Structure 1
Amino acid sequence: MIQLKDVTYARLGSSSLEEAESFATRCLGLQVSERSRNSLYLRSDERAHTLCYFEGDPADQTIGFEVENESDLNEAATTLDALGHPVHVGAAAECSARKVRAFIGFKDPSGNQIELVVRPEQHGRRYFASRDAGITGFSHVGLNSTNPVRDEKFWTEVCNARVSDRIGDIALMRVNAIHHTIALAPARGPGIQHINHQVQSNDDVLRSFYHLSEQRVLIVFGPGRHPTSGARFLYFQGPDGMVFEYSVGVDEIEDEESHRPRQFGFEPTSLCMWGSKSKRAR
Structure 2
Amino acid sequence: MIRLMDVSYVRLGTLDLEGASRFAVDYLGLQVSEHRKGAVCFKSDARDHTLCYFEGNPADQAVAFEVRDKQDLDMAASELERLGHAVRGGTESEASSRHVKGFIAFRDPSGNNIELVYQPERSGRRYFGGRDAGVTGFSHVGLCSSDVARDEQFWTSVCNARVSDRIGDAPLLRIDEVHHSIALFPSDRSGIQHINHQVETGDDVMRSYYFLKERGIPITFGPGRHPSSSARFLYFRGPDAMVFEYSSGVKSIADELLYRERQFPFEPKGFCSWGAKPQISQFG
Q: Same fold (TM over 0.5)?
A: yes
Distance 1:87 1:124, change over 3 A: same
Partner of 1:120: 120
> In the TM superposition, what whole-angstrom CA distance separates every residue of 1:184-221 from its partner, at most 9, and x where no partner exists?
01100110000000000010000000000111100000
Partner of 1:163: 163
2: distance between equivalents of 1:280 and 1:94?
A: 37
1: distance between equivalents of 2:89 and 2:110?
A: 20
Secondary structure of 2:132 counterpart: coil
Percentage identity across aligned positions? 60
Q: Does 1:228 align with 2:228?
A: yes
Q: What is the 5 A alignment of 1:169-180?
A: 169-180=169-180
RMSD, aligned α-carbons: 0.7
Secondary structure of 2:223 counterpart: strand
Q: What is the 5 A alignment of 1:23-62?
A: 23-62=23-62
Write the letter of the residue equivalent to 2:33: S
2: distance between equivalents of 1:151 and 1:11?
A: 21
2: distance between equivalents of 1:280 and 1:156?
A: 26
Q: TM-score, normalised by structure 2?
A: 0.98
Partner of 1:195: 195
Partner of 2:139: 139
Contact 2:267-2:280 within 8 A present in 1 as well: no
Partner of 1:83: 83
Secondary structure of 2:281 counterpart: coil
Aligned residues: 282
Partner of 1:12: 12
Secondary structure of 1:18 counterpart: helix
2: distance between equivalents of 1:23 and 1:108?
A: 29
2: distance between equivalents of 1:22 and 1:41?
A: 12
CA displacement at 1:260 relative to structure 2: 0.7
| Unaligned stretches of 5+ residues in structure 2 | none
CA displacement at 1:272 relative to structure 2: 0.6
Write the letter of the residue equivalent to 1:261: E
2: distance between equivalents of 1:230 and 1:149?
A: 24
Q: Does 1:249 align with 2:249?
A: yes
Partner of 1:149: 149
Secondary structure of 1:156 counterpart: helix
Q: TM-score, normalised by structure 1?
A: 0.99
Write the letter of the residue equivalent to 2:217: V
After superposing the two structures, state which structure 1 stretch, 265-274 or 61-70, moved more. 265-274
> In the TM superposition, what whole-angstrom CA distance separates every residue of 1:63-122 from its partner, at most 9, and x where no partner exists?
000000000000000000000111000011110111100000000000000000000011
Following TM superposition, where does structure 1 have runs of at least 4 consecutive aligned residues deviating by more than 2 angstroms? 279-282
2: distance between equivalents of 1:243 and 1:81?
A: 32
2: distance between equivalents of 1:111 and 1:268?
A: 28
1: distance between equivalents of 2:257 and 2:75?
A: 27
2: distance between equivalents of 1:167 and 1:56?
A: 33
Write the letter of the residue equivalent to 1:262: R
Partner of 2:63: 63
Partner of 1:92: 92
| Unaligned stretches of 5+ residues in structure 1 | none
1: distance between equivalents of 2:267 and 2:196?
A: 22
CA displacement at 1:280 relative to structure 2: 6.6
